[in-house]
């Protein structure tokens, strides 16, 4: 649908809202809910369908109880780039007031034709957000084309606390902080333009089975912690993809970044530990402790979303890379440039397998930096199966092993935790002890897996009865040989805990 109405209502020399533009569908669909304090407080509910954000204003907020309904007024489509917008719209402008990114994530339409469903007046979908999870419906009322109902489906959801309701899922700021602390943006040339971008989620890569045709540039896929480095006002922040501070854990990286002469700059890269053959190893990174004898640690930088206060995210990748090369090649030691390997993805993937690398990352040379998106402009090709899983329980130890026997892990499907298997290898005494200590804070009485009582789980009733259950909050990295026909892991090996990903975001990765 055209964004003409969106553009007609706004003066982009005065409002900070993005001019935007439509975007091709990515396969992974985004949603965002923005809390908007304008003439009256409401929540703007937006779903990525057909290259734009289909939008509704929900005056009384999101329903949490099964069957609960809230009026939702259909408004003009917004550009995809609007999902990252947070700040102040100046008074006198359309929608003038404070805007917060209240929640964001992905959604699953429960049909193969969501645009058609929407046109017919009923859309069933599942949200996977930072705050929201589960099923909802949008149903159009016949008496008024603009009036819809947002209805909670599935099970009841625990209501959001007052603190959560007043906390941005993007920046962690309250409405008051956004209203009093944020600058009012007018245009790129305005003196009030912020010097350093606020935190945003990094651009993500889509998993493919084989290299696609086209003009691609390939790099090594590193097995570490994805981290954005924000350097401004003489300080450096190293932030994980889910907003956690990694600076205290990796002070050497922070110290090296402080030596750059550039200010108000954002780097995107991966903190990795290298084994004796120069390959990144997530298991070795887990053992890294500041000040202790540890494996070689490096921050491989592969993108430059901002430099000296200039937002570079709309520029093509090859231009951002040229700017990055001029900066990073002047550095040495712990900071390294992620090198270009060429454009022959098939040959490079064969070589990556021979060298025992995790895989390759491919990027379109003309691609902009799409914060928080998995649009397909960046892809990943793996040499083996490896992904994140949520720990939902554990079994008792057997034989000489202390603490516990195996982890019980799963992924989220339609807002519920699905059991994927037992993981009994990849531990030493130290990891067994550390994990068991963390488990004690997360113990619950009820099994968190929705399907553990079903046949084909690989566990007997007696084993299930003896298992210990945990709040599904801890995320771990697992390497395995393959998925079985009944969606279980074959030959899984524990690699370590992932502090940089939220449990609600963990779903099965399937290559297309």
Q: Is 236:245 a contact under the CB 8 Å cutoff?
A: no
Among all residues, which ones are annotated catalytic? 221
Nearest-angstrom CA–CA distance, 199 and 229: 10
Nearest-angstrom CA–CA distance, 230 and 252: 15
Tokens 């070589």, located at residue:
351
Structure confidence by residue, pLDDT tens digits, 107-164: 999 988 999 999 999 999 999 999 999 999 999 997 678 999 999 998 899 888 898 9
Report residue 496 as tokens.
């370590």
Domains, the chain: 4-181 (no CATH), 206-382 (3.30.470.30), 386-505 (2.40.50.140)
Burial of residue 331 (number of CB atoms within 10 Å: 0-12, 13-18, 19+): middle
Local mean pLDDT, 10-residue blocks, the chain (512 residues): 79 77 54 93 94 93 94 92 86 90 92 91 94 95 87 91 89 83 36 63 92 92 94 88 88 90 92 89 76 76 93 91 87 86 94 92 92 89 93 91 94 90 92 93 93 70 91 95 89 92 88 81
Structure confidence by residue, pLDDT tens digits, 157-209: 988 889 899 999 887 888 988 887 433 333 333 333 446 888 888 999 999 99
Nearest-angstrom CA–CA distance, 223 and 385: 13
Structure confidence by residue, pLDDT tens digits, 56-102: 999 999 999 999 999 999 999 998 888 888 888 888 889 999 999 99
Q: Residue 166: which of 103, 90, 115 has the closest Cα? A: 103
Q: Is the pTM of this model over 0.75?
A: no
Q: Is 342:218 a contact under the CB 8 Å cutoff?
A: yes
């Amino acid at each position: 649908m055209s964004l003409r109405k969106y553009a007609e209502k706004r003066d982009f020399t005065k409002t900070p809202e993005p001019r935007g533009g439509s975007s091709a569908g990515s396969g992974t669909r985004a949603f965002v809910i923005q809390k908007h304090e304008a003439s009256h407080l409401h929540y703007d509910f937006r779903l990525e369908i057909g290259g734009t954000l289909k939008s509704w204003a929900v005056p009384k907020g999101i329903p949490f109880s099964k069957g609960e309904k809230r009026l939702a007024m259909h408004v003009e489509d917004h550009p995809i780039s609007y999902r990252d917008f947070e700040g102040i719209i100046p008074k006198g402008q359309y929608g003038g007031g404070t805007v917060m990114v209240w929640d964001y994530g992905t959604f699953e339409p429960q049909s193969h034709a969501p645009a058609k469903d929407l046109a017919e007046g009923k859309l069933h979908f599942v949200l996977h957000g930072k705050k929201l999870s589960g099923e909802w419906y949008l149903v159009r009322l016949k008496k008024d084309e603009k009036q819809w109902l947002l209805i909670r489906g599935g099970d009841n959801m625990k209501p959001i606390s007052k603190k959560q309701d007043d906390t941005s899922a993007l920046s962690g700021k309250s409405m008051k902080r956004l209203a009093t602390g944020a600058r009012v943006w007018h245009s790129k040339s305005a003196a009030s333009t912020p010097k350093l971008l606020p935190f945003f989620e990094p651009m993500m890569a889509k998993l493919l089975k084989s290299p696609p045709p086209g003009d691609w540039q390939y790099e090594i896929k590193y097995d570490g912690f994805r981290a954005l480095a924000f350097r401004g006002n003489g300080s450096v922040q190293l932030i994980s993809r889910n907003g956690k501070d990694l600076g205290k854990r990796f002070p050497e990286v922070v110290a090296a970044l402080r030596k750059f002469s550039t200010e108000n700059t954002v780097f995107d890269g991966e903190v990795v530990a290298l084994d004796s053959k120069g390959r990144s190893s997530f298991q070795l990174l887990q053992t890294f402790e500041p000040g202790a004898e540890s494996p070689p640690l490096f921050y491989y930088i592969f993108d430059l979303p901002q430099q000296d206060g200039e937002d570079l995210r709309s520029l093509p990748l090859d231009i951002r890379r040229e700017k990055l090369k001029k900066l990073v090649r002047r550095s040495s030691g712990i900071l390294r440039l992620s090198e270009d390997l060429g454009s022959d993805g098939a040959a490079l993937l064969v070589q990556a397998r021979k060298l025992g690398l995790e895989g390759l990352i491919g990027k379109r040379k003309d691609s902009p930096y799409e914060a928080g998106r998995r649009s397909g402009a960046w892809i990943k090709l793996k040499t083996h199966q490896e992904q994140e899983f949520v720990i939902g329980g554990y079994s008792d130890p057997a034989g000489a092993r202390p603490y516990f026997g195996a982890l019980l892990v799963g992924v989220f499907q339609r807002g519920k935790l699905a059991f994927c298997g037992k993981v009994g290898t990849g531990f030493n005494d130290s990891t067994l002890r550390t994990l068991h200590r963390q488990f004690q804070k997360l113990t619950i009485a009820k099994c968190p897996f929705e399907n553990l009582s079903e046949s084909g789980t690989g566990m007997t009733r007696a084993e299930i009865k003896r298992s210990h259950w945990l709040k599904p909050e801890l995320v771990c990295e697992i390497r395995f040989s393959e998925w079985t026909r009944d969606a279980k892991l074959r030959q899984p090996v524990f690699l370590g805990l992932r502090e940089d990903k939220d449990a609600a975001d963990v779903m099965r990765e399937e290559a297309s």
